[in-house]
Amino acid sequence: MGLYQQFIEQLKGSLKDKTLVKLSLGNYKGQEEGLKNLYVKLVEIKREIKLSFVYRYQTRDITKNYSLRDGFDVLVESVHYKGFRSVTLRTLHESLEMQMNKKGEWMGKVVKAEQATEIQLSHDKKKERKIADTQQSYLQDLRLTDEKGQVFKNAQDKWKQINHYIEILSTPLSALPADKPLQIVDMGAGKGYLTFALYDYLTHKLQRDVQVHGVEFRKDLVDLCNQIAERAHFDKLRFEEGTIEDYVPQEKIDVLIALHACDTATDDAIYQGIQQEAELIVVAPCCHKQVRRELEQHKAPNQLQFMTQYGIFLERHAEMLTDSIRALILNYYGYETKVMQFISDQHTPKNVMIVASKKVVNQGQQELILSQLQELKRYFGLGYQHLERLCGLENA
Ligand SMILES: C[S@@+](CC[C@H](N)C(=O)[O-])C[C@H]1O[C@@H](n2cnc3c(N)ncnc32)[C@H](O)[C@@H]1O
């Protein structure tokens, strides 16, 4: 039996008797851009054994779960046609490694497993939450937890969102220079859920010296948040009444945050961050009316017209265009940008987050970005984008 056939038999057997430990596919030479690896393992979801596929791309992971039968078919196709040229299959009994050579033949070996490995089926592993101490007064004051530190049932989504937010930021935050206190501004802080959580994480978990300012134009929220901060003894957290566009920082901003600030308020916030050369700029845009209006008024006759005739697609298109332009402008100023899903789209469609970390400005890159911007605007019939205008790049 050839090696490939051995692989198929071993895979089939390991699914039948649930002895699959892990299957890793690599050395991808197929058509899908950015795809690097595929990792597959058994998981138990709602008492059913399934196959969990993690597609690892250059900048993200995508997870899909399949029934054993469908998963087997997808796997065979992935190995046979999809362009993975390296396969490692580990079962409780054997390991099989094979690579495709230049002639398209599979070469490799089968090794007996030396030690029995335990198969970890648990899918819904208890997550380590970033906000570990749930008995803090701010969590009670924000009606997230009761006096015993139990998260209220109706606050579970918010709780997940807060922890996920801190999880996303934990890596870029820990990369910030540790030799001085950090100045952080959260623009459009609202009721302050995320502002409090960030302060808590930075001061208690990372033990950083920080000054956090929340900026908010609703006085009632500012007063409430200041009271909660005082009760929690969060001495270096304060909230100010004011608008994002008129905010004048007292000190140089290291981290600028604006989550769900309406329409062009996100641009005003990014602009402040760029001007301040903030190390980290984090925004979760809200609505995208400015670009949508532009598109409605001046829509250029392009190949996407068949799509943007539908209101909902025009809306999504305006979102993607706006946030791509924001990311591009951040790149122009030397920021490395990541765009990711912030909250599950089951809860809100406003779930994109842009995380931009300051690196160096590359002049060659800047010229390219300016011409990309002009080309984008011409193609879509966009007169201007607010951040572009603020930065003076409109006619650059
Ligand atoms: C949707 S809430 C988001 C609150 C918080 N950032 C969050 O994500 O949980 C937006 C908040 O930003 C405030 N806001 C919107 N535009 C603003 C502006 N231009 N200046 C200051 N605050 C603003 C609103 O009053 C509101 O409280």
Q: Ligand 1 in contact with 25 (CB < 6 A)?
A: no
Pair (104, 33) in one structural domain: yes
Verify whether ligand 1 is closer than 6 Å to residue 377 (CB atom): no
265 lines ligand 1 (CB under 6 A): yes
Does any domain span residue 122? no
pLDDT digit string, tens, across residues 81-123 = 778 899 999 988 888 999 998 888 889 888 876 655 666 665 6
Dist. CA 216 → ligand 1 center (Å): 6
- Ligand 1 touching residue 189 (CB < 6 A): yes
- Domain boundary at 251, 267, 300, which? 251
pLDDT reported for residue 346: 60
Is residue 247 domain-resident? Answer: yes
16 and 69 housed in the same domain: yes
Q: Give the length of the chain.
A: 396
Q: What is the pLDDT of residue 147?
A: 87
In this structure, the answer to whether residues 12 and 88 fall within a common structural domain is yes
CATH number of residue 175's parent domain = 3.40.50.150
Residue 243 shares a structural domain with residue 139: yes
Are 111 and 90 in contact by the 8 Å Cβ rule? The answer is no
* Whether 106 and 166 share a structural domain: no
Distances (CA, A) of 106 to 8, 21, 102, 220: 12, 22, 10, 68
pLDDT of residue 345: 60
| Ligand 1 pocket: which of 164, 216, 386 to mutate (most atoms within 8 A of CB) | 216
In a domain, 117, yes or no: no
Residue nearest to atom 13 of ligand 1 (CA): 188
154 and 196 inside one domain? yes
- Buried b or exposed e, range 174-194, using 16+ CB within 10 angstroms: eebeeeeebbbbbbbbbbbbb
Q: Per-residue confidence of the chain (396 residues) as pLDDT tens digits?
A: 788 899 999 999 999 988 998 999 999 988 888 899 999 999 887 778 899 998 888 877 788 899 999 999 999 888 877 788 999 999 888 889 999 988 888 898 888 766 556 666 656 555 567 787 788 899 999 999 998 889 999 998 889 889 989 999 999 998 898 888 999 999 999 999 999 999 999 999 888 999 999 999 999 999 999 999 999 999 999 999 999 999 999 899 999 999 999 889 999 999 999 999 999 999 998 888 898 998 888 877 888 888 888 989 988 999 999 999 999 999 999 999 999 887 766 666 678 999 999 999 999 999 999 999 999 999 998 999 999 999 999 887
Per the domain annotation, does 256 fall within a domain? no
The token pair at 265 is 């308020």
262 found inside a domain = no
Which residue has its alpha carbon closest to ligand 1 atom 14? 188
The parent domain of residue 222 ranges over 129-251
Distances (CA, A) of 78 to 20, 89, 228, 306: 17, 14, 54, 33
- In DSSP notation, 327-347 reads HHHHHHTTEEEEEEE-S-TTT
Whole-number Å distance, alpha carbon 80 to ligand 1 midpoint, is 51
104 & 140 share domain: no
Domain end point (choices 211, 236, 251): 251
192 contacts 239 by C-beta, under 8 angstroms: yes
Alpha helices in 265-334 (DSSP H): 265-275, 289-298, 305-308, 311-332
Q: Does 190 contact ligand 1 (Cβ within 6 A)?
A: yes
80 shares a domain with 168: no
* Residue from 260, 263, 271, 351 to probe ligand 1 pocket by mutation (most atoms less than 8 Å from CB): 260
State whether 247 and 133 are in the same domain: yes
Q: Does 37 fall in a domain?
A: yes
Q: Is residue 124 part of a domain?
A: no
344 lines ligand 1 (CB under 6 A): no
Position 209 in a domain = yes
pLDDT at 127: 58
Q: How far is the CA of 259 from the centre of ligand 1 (A)?
A: 7
Atom of ligand 1 nearest to the CA of 244: 20
Residue 72: strand, helix, or coil: helix
Radius of gyration for the alpha carbons in the chain, expressed in angstroms and rounded: 25
Residue 196 and residue 107 share a domain: no
Structurally, how many domains does the chain consist of? 3
pLDDT of res. 115: 59
Interval between CA 149 and ligand 1 midpoint (Å): 27
How many angstroms separate the CA atoms of 117 and 219, rounded? Answer: 59
Whether ligand 1 lies within 6 angstroms of the CB of 83 is answered as no
Q: Give me the sheet containing 94-100, strands edge to edge.
A: 61-66, 48-57, 35-45, 20-28, 84-91, 94-100, 106-112
194 CB less than 6 Å from ligand 1? yes
Ligand 1 pocket check for 220: Cβ under 6 Å: no
Shared domain for 225 and 305, answered yes or no, is: no
From 85, 112, 139, the end of a domain falls on: 112
**240 in contact with ligand 1, CB cutoff 6 A:** no
236 lines ligand 1 (CB under 6 A): no
C-beta separation of 152 from 145 below 8 A: yes
Q: Whose CA is nearest to atom 20 of ligand 1?
A: 243
Distance 396 CA to ligand 1 centre (A): 31
**Same structural domain, 23 and 106:** yes
Question: Ligand 1 mean position to 260 CA, how many Å?
Answer: 6
Q: Is residue 358 in contact with ligand 1, taking CB distance under 6 Å?
A: no
pLDDT tens for each residue of 189-233: 999 999 999 999 999 988 899 999 999 999 999 999 999 999 999
